[in-house]
Amino acid sequence: MRYALISDLHANLPALQAVHRDILRREVGGVYHLGDLVGYAPWADETVGMVAELGIAGVAGNYDSTVATDYQHCGCRYEDPRQEELSHLSYDWTRRHVSPGTKAFLGGLPFRIDLLPQGGHLAGPRVVLVHGSPTLNTLYWTEDRPDDFCLKMAAHAGAKPGDVIAFGHTHKPWQREVGGIHFVNTGSVGRPKDGDWRAGYVLLDLGGGATRVEFVRVEYDVEQAMRGIRESGLPGEFAEQLRTGGEA
Ligand SMILES: [Fe+2]
Protein backbone atom coordinates (compact mmCIF):
# COMPACT_ATOMS: atom_id res chain seq x y z
CA MET A 1 0.00 0.00 0.00
CA ARG A 2 1.22 3.43 -0.90
CA TYR A 3 -0.05 6.69 0.61
CA ALA A 4 0.59 10.32 -0.24
CA LEU A 5 0.70 12.47 2.90
CA ILE A 6 0.32 16.21 2.48
CA SER A 7 0.56 18.66 5.37
CA ASP A 8 0.53 22.37 6.12
CA LEU A 9 -1.09 23.49 2.88
CA HIS A 10 -1.68 26.93 4.41
CA ALA A 11 -4.07 28.28 1.78
CA ASN A 12 -1.44 28.09 -0.94
CA LEU A 13 -3.65 26.91 -3.80
CA PRO A 14 -0.98 26.97 -6.57
CA ALA A 15 1.24 24.71 -4.42
CA LEU A 16 -1.63 22.29 -3.69
CA GLN A 17 -2.58 22.12 -7.38
CA ALA A 18 1.01 21.25 -8.35
CA VAL A 19 1.26 18.58 -5.64
CA HIS A 20 -2.08 17.12 -6.70
CA ARG A 21 -0.88 16.89 -10.32
CA ASP A 22 2.31 15.19 -9.15
CA ILE A 23 0.37 12.65 -7.05
CA LEU A 24 -1.89 11.79 -10.01
CA ARG A 25 1.18 10.72 -12.00
CA ARG A 26 2.04 8.09 -9.39
CA GLU A 27 0.40 4.93 -8.17
CA VAL A 28 -1.07 5.99 -4.86
CA GLY A 29 -3.72 4.11 -2.89
CA GLY A 30 -4.81 7.02 -0.72
CA VAL A 31 -4.12 10.70 -0.13
CA TYR A 32 -4.41 12.14 3.38
CA HIS A 33 -3.74 15.61 4.75
CA LEU A 34 -2.19 16.31 8.12
CA GLY A 35 -3.83 19.65 8.75
CA ASP A 36 -3.22 23.39 8.64
CA LEU A 37 -5.27 23.91 5.50
CA VAL A 38 -5.50 27.69 6.04
CA GLY A 39 -3.46 30.70 7.21
CA TYR A 40 -0.66 32.87 5.70
CA ALA A 41 -1.99 32.89 2.12
CA PRO A 42 -5.27 34.08 0.58
CA TRP A 43 -6.87 30.91 -0.81
CA ALA A 44 -8.41 29.48 2.38
CA ASP A 45 -11.86 28.74 0.95
CA GLU A 46 -10.40 27.48 -2.34
CA THR A 47 -7.93 25.15 -0.61
CA VAL A 48 -10.56 23.70 1.69
CA GLY A 49 -12.91 23.43 -1.30
CA MET A 50 -10.35 21.46 -3.31
CA VAL A 51 -9.56 19.13 -0.39
CA ALA A 52 -13.28 18.53 0.18
CA GLU A 53 -14.03 18.03 -3.52
CA LEU A 54 -11.21 15.53 -3.93
CA GLY A 55 -12.37 13.70 -0.80
CA ILE A 56 -8.96 13.98 0.86
CA ALA A 57 -9.50 12.98 4.48
CA GLY A 58 -7.25 14.43 7.15
CA VAL A 59 -6.75 15.76 10.64
CA ALA A 60 -7.13 19.17 12.30
CA GLY A 61 -4.04 21.34 12.39
CA ASN A 62 -3.73 24.02 15.05
CA TYR A 63 -4.75 26.64 12.49
CA ASP A 64 -7.86 24.67 11.56
CA SER A 65 -9.01 24.00 15.12
CA THR A 66 -8.32 27.54 16.38
CA VAL A 67 -10.13 29.20 13.45
CA ALA A 68 -13.03 26.78 13.85
CA THR A 69 -13.42 27.43 17.59
CA ASP A 70 -12.69 31.19 17.65
CA TYR A 71 -9.65 30.69 19.87
CA GLN A 72 -7.69 33.84 20.78
CA HIS A 73 -4.65 32.97 18.64
CA CYS A 74 -3.55 30.36 16.09
CA GLY A 75 -1.29 28.39 18.45
CA CYS A 76 1.72 29.20 16.28
CA ARG A 77 5.17 29.79 17.76
CA TYR A 78 6.97 33.11 17.31
CA GLU A 79 10.50 34.05 18.24
CA ASP A 80 10.38 37.86 18.23
CA PRO A 81 7.82 40.70 18.46
CA ARG A 82 7.60 41.12 14.65
CA GLN A 83 6.89 37.40 14.20
CA GLU A 84 4.21 37.66 16.86
CA GLU A 85 2.65 40.64 15.06
CA LEU A 86 2.74 38.78 11.72
CA SER A 87 1.19 35.71 13.30
CA HIS A 88 -1.73 37.77 14.61
CA LEU A 89 -2.18 39.58 11.26
CA SER A 90 -2.43 36.27 9.43
CA TYR A 91 -4.84 34.82 11.99
CA ASP A 92 -7.12 37.89 11.97
CA TRP A 93 -7.08 38.03 8.15
CA THR A 94 -7.94 34.33 7.88
CA ARG A 95 -10.77 34.55 10.40
CA ARG A 96 -12.27 37.52 8.55
CA HIS A 97 -12.09 35.78 5.15
CA VAL A 98 -13.15 32.15 5.68
CA SER A 99 -16.71 31.35 4.72
CA PRO A 100 -19.07 29.79 7.29
CA GLY A 101 -18.87 26.57 5.26
CA THR A 102 -15.06 26.51 5.45
CA LYS A 103 -15.17 27.17 9.19
CA ALA A 104 -17.64 24.32 9.68
CA PHE A 105 -15.47 21.99 7.58
CA LEU A 106 -12.37 22.85 9.67
CA GLY A 107 -14.35 22.24 12.87
CA GLY A 108 -15.31 18.78 11.67
CA LEU A 109 -11.75 17.54 11.13
CA PRO A 110 -10.72 14.75 13.53
CA PHE A 111 -7.66 15.03 15.79
CA ARG A 112 -6.17 11.76 14.56
CA ILE A 113 -6.66 9.16 11.86
CA ASP A 114 -5.39 5.56 12.01
CA LEU A 115 -4.71 3.58 8.83
CA LEU A 116 -4.26 -0.18 8.78
CA PRO A 117 -2.82 -0.83 5.29
CA GLN A 118 -3.14 -4.60 5.58
CA GLY A 119 -6.77 -4.38 6.60
CA GLY A 120 -8.57 -4.13 9.91
CA HIS A 121 -8.67 -7.91 10.31
CA LEU A 122 -4.96 -7.78 11.26
CA ALA A 123 -3.45 -5.92 14.21
CA GLY A 124 -0.79 -4.05 12.28
CA PRO A 125 1.10 -2.28 11.01
CA ARG A 126 -0.68 0.90 11.94
CA VAL A 127 -0.11 4.37 10.48
CA VAL A 128 -1.09 7.12 12.90
CA LEU A 129 -1.75 10.54 11.34
CA VAL A 130 -1.69 13.65 13.56
CA HIS A 131 -0.79 17.29 12.93
CA GLY A 132 1.77 18.15 15.62
CA SER A 133 1.94 15.19 18.01
CA PRO A 134 -0.39 12.54 19.47
CA THR A 135 -0.95 14.79 22.52
CA LEU A 136 -1.58 18.28 21.02
CA ASN A 137 -1.67 19.73 17.52
CA THR A 138 0.35 22.75 18.73
CA LEU A 139 3.41 20.78 19.86
CA TYR A 140 6.48 21.18 17.61
CA TRP A 141 8.07 17.76 16.98
CA THR A 142 11.40 18.92 15.59
CA GLU A 143 14.23 16.68 14.42
CA ASP A 144 16.37 17.52 17.48
CA ARG A 145 13.89 15.93 19.89
CA PRO A 146 15.62 13.03 21.65
CA ASP A 147 14.71 9.38 21.09
CA ASP A 148 13.04 9.36 24.53
CA PHE A 149 10.60 12.00 23.39
CA CYS A 150 9.70 9.95 20.30
CA LEU A 151 9.12 6.83 22.41
CA LYS A 152 6.97 8.79 24.87
CA MET A 153 4.82 10.01 21.99
CA ALA A 154 4.65 6.48 20.56
CA ALA A 155 3.49 5.13 23.92
CA HIS A 156 0.84 7.84 24.10
CA ALA A 157 -0.33 6.90 20.60
CA GLY A 158 -0.31 3.18 21.42
CA ALA A 159 2.22 2.56 18.60
CA LYS A 160 4.14 -0.70 18.40
CA PRO A 161 7.30 -1.72 16.46
CA GLY A 162 6.49 -1.69 12.74
CA ASP A 163 4.01 1.18 13.12
CA VAL A 164 4.39 4.65 11.64
CA ILE A 165 3.54 7.99 13.22
CA ALA A 166 3.27 10.77 10.64
CA PHE A 167 2.90 14.46 11.45
CA GLY A 168 3.78 17.94 10.16
CA HIS A 169 3.44 21.34 11.87
CA THR A 170 7.17 22.30 11.89
CA HIS A 171 7.32 22.67 8.07
CA LYS A 172 10.70 20.91 8.07
CA PRO A 173 10.71 17.30 6.80
CA TRP A 174 12.62 14.54 8.60
CA GLN A 175 12.32 10.89 9.50
CA ARG A 176 13.80 8.57 12.07
CA GLU A 177 13.32 5.02 13.33
CA VAL A 178 13.37 4.47 17.10
CA GLY A 179 12.59 1.11 18.67
CA GLY A 180 11.25 -0.18 15.34
CA ILE A 181 8.71 2.66 15.12
CA HIS A 182 8.95 5.04 12.17
CA PHE A 183 8.55 8.74 12.83
CA VAL A 184 7.91 10.86 9.75
CA ASN A 185 7.59 14.62 9.60
CA THR A 186 6.11 15.24 6.16
CA GLY A 187 7.21 18.87 5.78
CA SER A 188 4.89 21.44 4.20
CA VAL A 189 3.06 21.80 0.89
CA GLY A 190 2.32 25.50 1.11
CA ARG A 191 4.92 27.06 3.38
CA PRO A 192 8.20 25.10 3.66
CA LYS A 193 10.74 26.38 6.18
CA ASP A 194 13.74 24.21 5.32
CA GLY A 195 15.23 26.65 2.79
CA ASP A 196 13.72 24.86 -0.24
CA TRP A 197 10.85 26.86 -1.79
CA ARG A 198 9.33 23.84 -3.58
CA ALA A 199 6.13 22.25 -2.23
CA GLY A 200 6.90 19.18 -0.13
CA TYR A 201 5.00 16.00 0.61
CA VAL A 202 5.67 12.34 1.46
CA LEU A 203 5.06 9.04 -0.30
CA LEU A 204 4.78 6.32 2.33
CA ASP A 205 5.10 2.75 1.14
CA LEU A 206 4.22 -0.21 3.33
CA GLY A 207 4.69 -3.47 1.53
CA GLY A 208 6.57 -6.73 1.91
CA GLY A 209 7.31 -6.02 5.55
CA ALA A 210 9.32 -2.90 4.71
CA THR A 211 8.49 0.75 5.25
CA ARG A 212 9.77 3.25 2.70
CA VAL A 213 9.53 6.99 3.02
CA GLU A 214 10.13 9.24 0.02
CA PHE A 215 10.27 13.01 0.46
CA VAL A 216 9.00 14.58 -2.77
CA ARG A 217 9.53 18.21 -3.78
CA VAL A 218 7.44 19.81 -6.50
CA GLU A 219 8.04 23.08 -8.33
CA TYR A 220 4.98 25.32 -8.55
CA ASP A 221 4.09 28.84 -9.65
CA VAL A 222 5.51 30.58 -6.59
CA GLU A 223 5.26 33.97 -8.34
CA GLN A 224 1.50 33.51 -8.58
CA ALA A 225 1.32 32.65 -4.86
CA MET A 226 3.45 35.70 -3.99
CA ARG A 227 1.26 37.98 -6.12
CA GLY A 228 -1.85 36.57 -4.46
CA ILE A 229 -0.47 37.34 -1.01
CA ARG A 230 0.56 40.88 -1.95
CA GLU A 231 -2.80 41.66 -3.56
CA SER A 232 -4.76 40.25 -0.61
CA GLY A 233 -3.55 42.69 2.01
CA LEU A 234 -1.64 40.01 3.91
CA PRO A 235 1.87 41.09 5.05
CA GLY A 236 4.42 41.06 2.20
CA GLU A 237 6.81 39.07 4.40
CA PHE A 238 4.68 35.97 3.76
CA ALA A 239 5.40 36.28 0.02
CA GLU A 240 9.14 36.60 0.64
CA GLN A 241 9.10 33.56 2.93
CA LEU A 242 7.60 31.48 0.10
CA ARG A 243 10.35 32.54 -2.30
CA THR A 244 13.16 31.66 0.13
CA GLY A 245 11.64 28.56 1.70
CA GLY A 246 11.31 30.23 5.06
CA GLU A 247 14.81 31.63 5.24
CA ALA A 248 13.61 35.27 4.99
FE1 LIG B 1 1.55 24.84 9.81
One-character DSSP codes across 47-110: HHHHHHHHT-EE---HHHHHHHHT-SS-----SSHHHHHHHHHHHHHHHHHS-HHHHHHHHT--
- Cα 48 to ligand 1 centroid, rounded to whole Å: 15
- Cα 88 to ligand 1 centroid, rounded to whole Å: 14
- Cα 187 to ligand 1 centroid, rounded to whole Å: 9
How far is it, in rounded angstroms, from Cα 72 to Cα 74? 7
Q: Which residue from 220, 215, 174 is spatially nearest to 197, judged by alpha carbons?
A: 220
Put residue 89 in one of left, alpha, beta given phi > 0 → left and psi -120 to 50 → alpha.
Answer: alpha
State whether residue 113 is helix, strand or coil.
Answer: strand
How far is it, in rounded angstroms, from Cα 32 to Cα 148? 28
- Cα 120 to ligand 1 centroid, rounded to whole Å: 31
- Cα 133 to ligand 1 centroid, rounded to whole Å: 13
- Cα 223 to ligand 1 centroid, rounded to whole Å: 21
- Cα 170 to ligand 1 centroid, rounded to whole Å: 7
- Cα 125 to ligand 1 centroid, rounded to whole Å: 27
Given this model, what pLDDT does residue 197 score?
A: 98
- Count of other CB atoms within 10 angstroms of residue 74: 25
Verdict on whether the full-model pTM lies above 0.95? yes
- Cα 122 to ligand 1 centroid, rounded to whole Å: 33
Given this model, what pLDDT does residue 247 score?
A: 74
- Cα 169 to ligand 1 centroid, rounded to whole Å: 4
- Cα 118 to ligand 1 centroid, rounded to whole Å: 30
Question: What residue ranges of the chain have pLDDT lower than 70?
Answer: 248
- Cα 36 to ligand 1 centroid, rounded to whole Å: 5
- Count of other CB atoms within 10 angstroms of residue 55: 7
- Cα 171 to ligand 1 centroid, rounded to whole Å: 6
- Cα 39 to ligand 1 centroid, rounded to whole Å: 8
Given this model, what pLDDT does residue 248 score?
A: 54
How far is it, in rounded angstroms, from Cα 227 to Cα 89? 18
- Cα 173 to ligand 1 centroid, rounded to whole Å: 12
